[in-house]
Amino acid sequence: MADYILMTKEGYNQLLNELKKLKEIERPATVQALEEARQMGDLRENAEYHAAKEKLALIDSRIAEIEYRLSKAKIVEKSSEDGKVGFGSKVKVFNYKLNKEQVYTIVSSDEMDLKSLKISIESPIGKALIGHEEGDEVIVQIPSGEMKLKILKIE
């Protein structure tokens, strides 16, 4: 396994912003809620206390995970300058299955967002597109069968 985690600058900044929000807003608010719940008396039957305690544990876990990912981050804006699809590429394709054009951005699994067509480099579509050039047609194995894409443009 690599000593680094590939990330776009945008993805890195999103993690930084999430970390800041967790440390400066969510964690202090949860610590305050925990303290208020603690003052309500018997902790064994105090649902607010247990909920706040559980939420704090989840926040601390996420903070540790983000800090680890940021410490291992290797920012790559675009890994392929030779006209081929690479990490960070925006790829305009024609999807024969859907009979329409789509623009995918190849990102890390952390940055994946299917609504905005940011796909992971490890996803079936991401793996199929990597290394191909404009004009190439690729066949992607997806759970519902095969999907054929034609690469129209690489940015």
Q: Chain-wide mean pLDDT for the chain?
A: 89
81-137, pLDDT tens digit by residue? 678 998 888 999 999 989 999 999 999 887 888 899 999 988 999 999 999 999 999
Residue type, 17: N
Query: How many domains does the chain fold into?
Result: 2
Are 117 and 94 part of one and the same domain?
A: yes
Strands of the chain, DSSP E: 5-7, 73-75, 90-95, 100-107, 118-120, 137-142, 145-154
Task: Please check whether residue 81 lies inside any domain of the structure.
Answer: no
Q: Is the CB of residue 10 less than 8 Å from the CB of residue 79?
A: no
Which tokens sit at 86? 């690479």
How many other C-beta atoms are found inside a 10 Å radius of the C-beta of residue 39? 9
Same domain? For 68 and 104 the reply is no
68 and 105 co-located in one domain:
no
pTM: 0.73
